[in-house]
Amino acid sequence: MSQPLLGLGLKALEAWAQEHGQAAFRGRQLHDWLYAKGARQLAEVSVLPKGFREQLAAQPPEGAFDWMGRSRELHRSVARDGTTKLLLGTHDGLSIETVGIPAEGRLTVCVSSQVGCPMACRFCATGKGGLQRSLAVHEIVDQVLSVREVMEQRPSHVVFMGMGEPLLNIEAVLAAIDCLCTDLGMAQRQITVSTVGVPRTLPRLAELALERLGRAQFTLAVSLHAPDQRLREELIPTAHAYPIEDLLEDCRRYVAITGRRVSFEYILLGGLNDQPRHAAALAQLLRGFQSHVNLIPYNPIAEEEFQRPTPAAVDGFRRALQDRHVAVSVRASRGLDADAACGQLRRRLEGSLEPVLAR
């Protein structure tokens, strides 16, 4: 079974070249054209023999348009703050959303791990259309390359906070992290994996990370969004199968295995979970935990009538946590006017948008 080249490391590309009757140095050339030059099609790799390129073009790999494994850009929207959302088309007619978030001296890429999402969080647009499928390694790495290409800047950070639940696609996510670090030169500490929680999966993530990556230095961000099980189930229907006490116990096991603290994400919904009593309950829940809380003011989506919290409520919640010695920060909303902010990504319908660039 053939597979795209994107996502393969240097040694694997050398072996691939030899398996196809070429010298090993052809694999090194491919590695440079894939990751440094960002070639989109094998035909662009002019250093390869023309006959070899033509031979491969006649038998494209499974699961991609071309041997290089790149996607097709369907649509691009740029917010006033420079945040850029890309809609990328897959070989099977589906679409992926990814976002480039510029800031002074850095560029963060928010990548998707699935097409759609099965977790059905009420405040998130992605889950409204359900899950189509998980993404392959090349489809994840391609998002980072696509943002780099469009924004003409080397990404400094990658967050798995786009479409999908990363822990339902662990193998591909870890392989993508390996590729980003080994082949694109990123550091694990520049990468964050966000999850709403999948039963009995966090300890496995920790063990697999140590096995596949040699160490687990990426940041784990766990979405809580409520200080108790009842409210959490109201916001995240799938949470009924994963009591918050069990989730926190798995987080403690993750910390014990990796030695890394956990970051907890908490979306503030106006009048629902943003009151001082909620902050006090959250602080009590996390008491003694090696953690950090990231507060995220709700970004509106059309299907729900949740309210964005007032600035006073956000500041009051933050101060209530700080007064109880909880490390806390507030995430600034970026890309709101382009529907590119946290929770606003959604699976587009097939055929709804035409490519903006000829590929």
Q: Enumerate the active-site residues.
A: 97, 342
In angstroms, how far is the first alpha carbon of the chain from the final one?
A: 25
What is the full DSSP assignment across 109-165?
A: EE--SEEE-SS--TT-SGGGG-EEEEPPHHHHHHHHHHHHHHHTS---EEEE-SSS-
State the DSSP code for 277: H
SS3 content of the chain, % helix, strand, coil (to 5): 40, 20, 45
- Which residues, other chains included, contact 2 with Cβ-Cβ below 8 Å and sequence gap of 6+? 59, 60, 61, 62
How far is 191 from 218, CA to CA, in rounded Å?
Answer: 5
In the block, tokens 């990328």 appear at 88
How far is 226 from 266, CA to CA, in rounded Å?
Answer: 7
- Residues 91, 133, 179, 193, CA torsion sign: positive
276 three-class SS: helix
How far is 274 from 318, CA to CA, in rounded Å?
Answer: 10
Taking alpha carbons only, the member of 218, 149, 221 closest to residue 186 is 218
How far is 359 from 114, CA to CA, in rounded Å?
Answer: 23
| Residue 200 CA: distances (Å) to CA of 135, 225, 250, 251 | 22, 20, 7, 10
Taking alpha carbons only, the member of 150, 33, 8 closest to residue 88 is 150
Rg, C-alpha atoms of the chain: 21
In the block, tokens 């970026």 appear at 334
